[in-house]
Amino acid sequence: MKVLIYKRTHKGDPDAKGIFGNQDCMGRIRNWNYDAVIGIGGNAPWKEDANIKHKINWIGLEPKKINSSKKRGDKVVFSHFELYEEKGLNIKVHYPNLFKYMYGSRKRFDMSSDLPKDVFEEVIQILYSIEDSPASEAYAVENIDALETEKNLKSSKCGGCFGGKEVEITFQEC
Identify the pLDDT of residue 161: 47
Check whether 23 has a pLDDT greater than 90: no
| Mean pLDDT, residues 100-105 taken together | 88
CA nearest neighbour of 36 among 63, 18, 56: 63
Beta carbons of 55 and 11 less than 8 angstroms apart: no
Q: Tell me, what's the pLDDT at 144?
A: 66
Range with the lowest mean pLDDT among 18-32, 110-124, 129-143? 110-124
